[in-house]
Amino acid sequence: MSLKVLAGIVKGRKLKTPSYNTLSIRPILGRIKKSIFDIIQAKLKNSIFIDLFAGVGTVGIEALSRGAKRVTFVDINDVSLSIIRHNIDVLGFNNVRIVKCNIMKNLQMFLYEKYDIIFMGPPYNSKKYDIEMCHVLRDIVRYNILKDDSILIVQKHIKEHVGDVYGLECFRIKKYGDTIISFYKKN
């Protein structure tokens, strides 16, 4: 699988990815990533961005390339984190933080900072997906890590349901085949 940065200062650069069977990750499709960044481009410049369930870091790296001030990459998998570190080093970015964390249990680790943009691309097909994602979204509100004008973006499979979360308003939903991208803001 070949992934590239779509735009910005490292446009066209290839990213290291795991061998096909190494991880149970699903890097975001290029057309979906392009659409997301077309939607959030006005908020991206100098933003504080966090990529939760970062996988190989393609979304956070795209944010850096397009002008994010700083990106935090969060994942629980050591192979994913190693690939992110490799890609960041090769591309020469230094305004990053790479964190090994189980987001389902330890979101409070990120209380020290509020984010302009949060991207969540959790693994598909978890039997407890609905409950886990609602829990993470509630924690984002509870720990108040969103700024008043922040955007929270959630990628999910069409069969997975997140539902309403007190304190968040879903203001846009985009469908790409079996993938749904939901955009939230504080309410």
Length of the chain: 187
Helix 58-65 crosses helix 78-91 at what angle (to 10 degrees)?
20
Q: Which residue has the tokens 């997301």?
A: 36
User: Which residues, other chains included, contact 23 with Cβ-Cβ below 8 Å and sequence gap of 6+?
Assistant: 55, 77, 79, 80
State yes or no: pLDDT of 169 exceeds 60: yes
Give the Cα separation of 113 and 73 in Å (integer): 14
Distance of CA 144 to the CA centre of its chain: 18
Q: How many domains does the chain have?
A: 1
Domain range enclosing 128 = 3-186
CATH number at residue 179: 3.40.50.150
Q: Is 184 helix (H, G, I), strand (E, B) or coil?
A: strand
CB 31 within 8 A of CB 7: no
Give the Cα separation of 89 and 147 in Å (integer): 29
- Range name among 3-12, 92-101, 164-173 with the lowest pLDDT average: 164-173
Sheet holding 96-100, edge to edge: 96-100, 70-75, 48-52, 115-120, 146-157, 179-186, 168-176
Dig out the tokens for 19 from the structure.
């061998």
Residue 175 confidence (pLDDT) = 95
CB 55 within 8 A of CB 26: yes
Q: What is the pLDDT of residues 28-57, one digit of tens each?
A: 888 999 999 999 999 999 999 999 999 889
The mean pLDDT value of the chain amounts to 89
